[in-house]
Amino acid sequence: MKTVSVIGMGYIGLPTATLLASKGYQVAGMDVNPKVVDIINQGKIHIVEPDLDVAVHKAVESGKLKAFTSPQKADIFILAVPTPFLADKKPDMTYVRKAAESICTVLEAGNLVILESTSPIGATRVDVAEIIYAKRPELVGKLHIAHCPERVLPGQILRELVENDRVVGGVDEASTKTAADFYRTFVKGEVLETTSDTAEMAKLTENAFRDVNIAFANELSLICDKLGINVWELIRLANRHPRVNILQPGPGVGGHCIAVDPWFIVAAAPEEAKLIRTAREVNDGKPHWVVDKVMEAASKSATKPVIGLLGMAYKPDVDDLRESPSVEIAHALKRATNAEIIVCEPYVDAMNGFKLATLDETLAQANILVMLTDHKPFKDITLGQLAGKQIIDTRGTFERVMG
Ligand code: SAJ
């Protein structure tokens, strides 16, 4: 059985390393953060993802997964580091380049290097292959280098890692084949072969597709608000058409993927990517619209307004606050009003700038209640608990309660 070194022990790297360990690979997980390495080596996890704690515990206990702060020799290297964007919305490839550089000291002829991070077109050739070959010119033609974008949905990572189809694209045909064969050893879905450029674009396209569709729902929510139409009922009805499937409006689009990746397409083809850019702008505009609605409610409040914000994570039942529209709304409200703001986020212990309240405290104190992230515990809120409050429901959660 081959050895695998996974660089980056985050939301993708850690579950991937764990899955590979469970399939019998000897896996070294590498992370620059010594605290993360410590936690993993204790068989524990530093992120929230269903069932991951048990799987990591098992993998570490079996001796198949061990974490390190420096890269270890292996047959296969998987780079799973973040690719955020810069202030000008252009991709920031610093982490990928650093990860590629970091493995140069341990690479050997015959190794397979896979970039899993969502990346702009050309990154596998330029930010991985060129970087490695500049440092290790004697390895030119002796490595296999490919892109296989991760496609898993946070909250369902362990299942989707195995079940989803994968797109694999090498910098040359031999790389494509070698990388695809590796994925076939642990993926139940189909492994589809292409070039590294097309694999990069495929991943960006998937997320841009979802972003455009969410933007459609968000735009509808603004239109319906203006026209006095219940957008949730409208979408339910329109979706009864056999070829219509509208997504759900929300407070905006968050996370480190869908709110980021479409910009990589815009950066690559700014003239052509009109719809993709507009969708980003529509979704980025939604939190401001929510803030305006809350301010309007506060101005109408008969008593001193106390604003209760429910859910800070970027989507239901995860603990991830990155690029979360709810967090943006909380900070914007703090800047815009002197009214008391109560923040409830059951999945995290602390949040910058706010003291977190329990759901009971929030329901007891707030007279303006804003549903931002519809976590499971919020779905049990009853009509009685909403009585006498102004409600701003960005997710349609209270529709069921209020009818
Ligand atoms: N959202 C809505 N309305 C919807 C669906 C989602 O407002 O109807 C919002 C969510 O609340 C959240 C954001 O969109 O703020 C994104 O959530 P998501 O569940 O759509 O997606 P992510 O960001 O958690 O994961 C996406 C997935 N991509 C696609 O579904 C095309 C996942 O498969 C990718 O692997 C992941 O991005 C990634 O890492 O790129």
Residue with tokens 């700014």: 270
Q: 114 near 76, Cβ under 8 Å? A: yes
Give the pLDDT score at 67: 98
Residue with tokens 């930010």: 127
Helical spans, DSSP H, in 30-154: 34-41, 52-61, 94-103, 123, 131-135
Q: 319 near 48, Cβ under 8 Å? A: yes
Say how many Å lie between the CA of residue 317 and the centre of ligand 1: 13
**Sign of CA pseudo-dihedral 267, 272, 278, 279:** negative
Query: Which value, in Å, is the radius of gyration of the alpha carbons in the chain?
Result: 23
Which of 153, 163, 220 for a ligand 1 pocket mutation test, highest count of atoms within 8 Å of Cβ? Answer: 153
Using CA atoms, how far apart are residues 316 and 346, in angstroms rounded to an integer? Answer: 11
Q: How confident is the model at residue 374 (pLDDT cuts 50, 70, 90)?
A: very high
pLDDT mean over 127-146? 98
Long-range Cβ contact pairs of 173-180 (< 8 A, separation 24 or more): 174/144, 175/112, 175/144, 175/145, 175/146, 176/146, 178/112, 178/144, 178/146, 179/112, 179/114, 179/144, 179/146, 179/148
89 noted as active-site residue: no
Q: Per residue in 89-98, pLDDT tens?
A: 889 999 999 9
Q: Which atom of ligand 1 is nearest to the CA of 325?
A: 15
Show the domains of the chain with their CATH numbers: 3-189 (3.40.50.720), 205-402 (3.40.50.720)
pLDDT surpassing 80 at residue 400: no
Mean pLDDT of all residues belonging to the chain: 96
Q: Which atom of ligand 1 is nearest to the CA of 154?
A: 24
Using CA atoms, how far apart are residues 347 and 354, in angstroms rounded to an integer? Answer: 15
Helix (H) or strand (E) holding 115: strand 112-115
> Distance of CA 52 to CAs 38, 152, 155, 159, 339, Å?
16, 14, 10, 11, 40
Give the pLDDT score at 325: 98
257 noted as active-site residue: yes
pLDDT surpassing 70 at residue 212: yes
Give the pLDDT score at 192: 98
Q: Give me the amino acid identity at 232.
A: W
Give the pLDDT score at 375: 96
Q: Which atom of ligand 1 is nearest to the CA of 209?
A: 31
pLDDT mean over 192-221? 98
3-state secondary structure 186-197: CCCCCEEEEEHH
pLDDT surpassing 80 at residue 403: no
Give the pLDDT score at 401: 76
pLDDT mean over 8-22? 97
What are the tokens at 273? 């990517």
Residue with tokens 């923040």: 343
Q: Per residue in 59-80, pLDDT tens?
A: 999 999 999 999 999 999 999 9
In percent, the amount of the chain with pLDDT more than 90 equals: 93
Give the pLDDT score at 369: 98
Say how many Å lie between the CA of residue 39 and the centre of ligand 1: 28
Catalytic entry in 2, 64, 135, 203: 203
pLDDT mean over 279-293? 98
